[in-house]
Amino acid sequence: MIYPFLAIVKKELGSVLRDRTIVISILIQFFIASFSSGLLLGMLSLYDADTIMRFSGANIRIGVIDSADMGLADRIQERGLNVTRFKSMAEAQAAFYNNEILAIVDTPQTLNGLIEVKLYLPDSDTVSSLIRMVIQEPLKQYENDLRQANGVEIYYTDLKGKPATSFEFVYSVLIPMLMFFPAFVAGSMSIDAITEEVEGKTLQTLLSTPLTVSTMIGAKITAAVLLAVLQCAAWLALIQINGTVIQNRAWILVLALVIAGITSTSAALSATFLQDRERSQFIYSLLLLAGVGISTLLNISPITALSRLAVGDAYTNGWDVMIFALAFAVLFGFLLRASRRFNA
């Protein structure tokens, strides 16, 4: 029985090279994993104030009220922003509504001697976010100036490590995407493999050999899962070559295997009941979207578990993976019972 099983696995893996869709998806993943550091750098540049200043600094016009402390205006100009001074708030507001300036800064002094910093921004979220990013440094320097003027000494510690945006992108987006995308493709591959036998009228020929329906379906799922795990192992290696530290790599691969098993089994169930490629792919897509959506609402989510494993979270370990392995076992058992439909 083992030889027919391995023969089907080999046949399915060999057919991957003839499927342009799968080959293209693998090449896309390879590109993302290979150039993850470049993608990260490009993404971070969108949130980097220095990059924004280099390309758009002179076009960011800030209005400063003359009654305001001129130390702040000087700091803003030093940053490379275009500063326009106004004698009153009314003049500044008129220029603001005429689109002559993009923001207004005022630093009135309160009755108890405290200085307030008031920043007026446009309604546009994009422009407002951009201004907040580039003006953050001058405001911080101005705050330091005020503290030092009042005799408050300031000490900063240079903390090593990646910025929060980089950390979130790598561990919450990049790694989960590269680990789970092969699983999604594995499900589609399982549907194609099963419905191909039904629509090509070769199922009965297969069953005439010393091979059961469950063994045949299991071999096709094994091929899809094996391909997914091999991809995940390669992507992990490429990400690490690009300088990203990944913890618990073995458990991450086990989780990737389990998720690929779940998607492939779900897809095989769809193909078993419908026995039609297009309808099966459609139902599988709906199940996939529903599964991803529901998992984001639960405390136990494969995406969350994978991210925590990758960063080395002390409270996430193999037991979290075993929860999904149990779900996979139950689902696969149901598939074995449903596969009897092919004998009918």
118-120 vs 61-65, strand pairing mode:
unpaired
Question: Which 3 state secondary structure label does DSSP give 262?
Answer: helix
Given 3-state DSSP classes, what are the helix, strand and coil percentages for the chain, each rounded to the nearest 5? 70, 5, 20
What was the pLDDT predicted at 36? 63
Say how far apart CA 171 and CA 31 lie, in whole Å. 18
Q: What CATH number does residue 125 fall under?
A: 3.40.190
Say if 43 falls within a structural domain.
Answer: no
Domain interval for residue 133? 49-149
Say if 157 falls within a structural domain.
Answer: no
Query: Are residue 193 and residue 312 in the same domain, yes or no?
Result: yes
* Boundary of a domain, candidates 92, 114, 149: 149
Closest-CA residue to 183 (of 153, 227, 148): 227
Query: Are residue 135 and residue 186 in the same domain, yes or no?
Result: no
pTM value > 0.85 = no
Question: Which 3 state secondary structure label does DSSP give 335?
Answer: helix
Say how far apart CA 49 and CA 43 lie, in whole Å. 13
What was the pLDDT predicted at 55? 45
Say how far apart CA 194 and CA 342 lie, in whole Å. 11
Query: Are residue 24 and residue 56 in the same domain, yes or no?
Result: no
Q: Give the burial class of 52: count Cβ atoms within 10 A of its Cβ; 0-12 exposed, 13-18 middle, 19 or more buried.
A: middle
What was the pLDDT predicted at 159? 46
Say if 44 falls within a structural domain.
Answer: no
What was the pLDDT predicted at 74? 82
Grouped pLDDT means (10 residues each) for the chain, 344 residues: 76 78 83 67 52 56 74 80 86 90 84 79 74 80 78 57 60 86 91 82 65 82 93 90 86 94 92 87 90 77 88 86 92 85 60
Query: Are residue 239 and residue 145 in the same domain, yes or no?
Result: no
φ/ψ of residue 114, rounded to 5? -80, 150
Say if 221 falls within a structural domain.
Answer: yes
What was the pLDDT predicted at 263? 94
Tally the domains of the chain.
2
Query: Are residue 17 and residue 62 in the same domain, yes or no?
Result: no
Beta-bridge partners for 63: 84, 104
Say if 40 falls within a structural domain.
Answer: no
Say how far apart CA 267 and CA 189 lie, in whole Å. 9
Q: Give the burial class of 15: count Cβ atoms within 10 A of its Cβ; 0-12 exposed, 13-18 middle, 19 or more buried.
A: middle
Say if 156 falls within a structural domain.
Answer: no
Query: Are residue 235 and residue 286 in the same domain, yes or no?
Result: yes
Say how far apart CA 338 and CA 120 lie, in whole Å. 64
Question: Which 3 state secondary structure label does DSSP give 33?
Answer: helix
